[in-house]
Chains A and B, each alone.
Chain A
């Protein structure tokens, strides 16, 4: 029995509710590249705690509101 862990996020949704903030705008405020924001949104890259906190801070939300951790047992 293997467990598949996945970090989900609502960055795209948060950007939408933040006046459709652009990926570039968010990237500049967080201090990463636009490509990294894109990879995070697609779920291809799990950011460090620091970047995750910064993203949550930009949207004035808690970390749990933006990122969630799923443990799926297969």
Chain B
């Protein structure tokens, strides 16, 4: 049972994040290095990146507008102290995932450029601008973790 408008918002955001993540992951991992030349691959990768970012922004705007239009009172829309606590706790989980993603990306850059190790995931995966994709993946996964944790806390009445 969906409980509050805020948890409905979490469900919608989670669904949107999953859809965007799925679409983005499919488009990135299906780039065929044998068919495209490096310039074309970068162009396709840039297109994937920009469309994923645009989709995230558009979906957030649409959901927020729908929720604002359907609001009954200020408390339901803004949330109360418990909603804020749940939001804070779940933001913390998302932050950890994003931090780990950032550290992995930095580590990968440092290993391949500074320490002289010629290990680059880009060469193994044939995905152009791998670090950028890694960062965006981390961001999307962090969003998924954040919304999932939020829903878990609402459903479990854990806070």
Contacts and interface: CB of A to CB of B under 8 A. Distances in A.
Contacts of B3: 35
A33 B158 contact: no
A36 interface: yes
Given A45-B82, A45-B157, A45-B159, A35 B4 contact: yes
A28 B82 CA distance: 15
Interface in A28-74: 28, 31-36, 38-39, 42, 44-45, 47-48, 51
Interface size range of chain B in the complex: 10 to 19
A51 B81 contact: yes
A47 to B, nearest CB: 7
A33 B73 CA distance: 10
Given A39-B157, A42-B157, A31 B75 contact: yes
B23 interface: no
B82 A35 contact: yes
Contacts of B82: 32-33, 35-36, 39, 45, 47
